[in-house]
Amino acid sequence: MKTLAELAEIREKMKGKVAMRQNDGNETRIIVGMGTCGIAAGARPVLSALVEAVSKEKLEESVTVTQTGCIGICQYEPVVEVIEPGKDKVTYVKMTAEKAQRVVAEHIKGGKVVAEYTIGASVAK
């Protein structure tokens, strides 16, 4: 049974970790479009997968996952943008939970853009 006491334990455990986070604008931001089109196209499981993968790869200190409204390219939803400091923004389109896991492992962690999921690759087709 989940108890509120457990939540207090999480608090104690997290306190120190949170204080160590980068908050200097040097973190990587992963942004998920959660407008009506995004949600209808499957953004909810994509977001959950991203949050889960970032945590699994232990990237939480330097990576945040945030939500935004309609990005304006509805036909490509679900859309995920990756903004790394000092680099060009990368836009991933027609995302799924599986693709999201790969993006975190290969791009966010590994440093190599998953070109085949980007909007550039999608437009070229």
Partner 1 sequence: MRELSLNILDIAQNSVRAEAKNIEIALLEDENGWLTFRITDNGKGMDAETVRRVSDPFYTTRTTRRVGLGLPFLRMGAEMTGGSFSIRSKPREEGEGHGTVVTAVFNMKHIDAVPLGDMVSTVCVLLQGQPDIDWLFIHSTPAGEVRLDAAELRSILGEEVSLGETEVINWIRDYLDEQYSSLNP
Ligand X SMILES: Nc1ncnc2c1ncn2[C@@H]1O[C@H](COP(=O)(O)OP(=O)(O)OP(=O)(O)O)[C@@H](O)[C@H]1O
**Interacting residue ranges for partner 1, rule: CB under 8 A:** 1-2, 4, 6-8, 10-11, 13-15, 18-19, 34-37, 39-40, 44-45, 47-48, 51-52, 54-55, 60, 65-67, 69-70, 72, 74
Report the alpha-carbon distance of residue 33 to residue 125 in Å, rounded.
23
Min separation Cβ 89 and partner 1, Å: 17
Q: DSSP states of 102-122 as a string?
A: HIIIIIIIT----GGGBHHHH
Q: Does residue 70 touch ligand X according to CB under 6 A? A: yes
Q: Which residue, 21 or 87, is less far from partner 1 as judged by CB?
A: 21
Q: Does residue 55 touch ligand X according to CB under 6 A? A: no
Site string for ligand X, 22-51 (x = CB under 6 A): -------------xx---------------
Q: From its phi and psi, is residue 55 left (phi > 0), alpha (psi between -120 and 50) or beta?
A: alpha
Report the alpha-carbon distance of residue 34 to residue 50 in Å, rounded.
13
Report the alpha-carbon distance of residue 91 to residue 118 in Å, rounded.
6
Binding residues vs ligand X (CB under 6 A): 35-36, 70
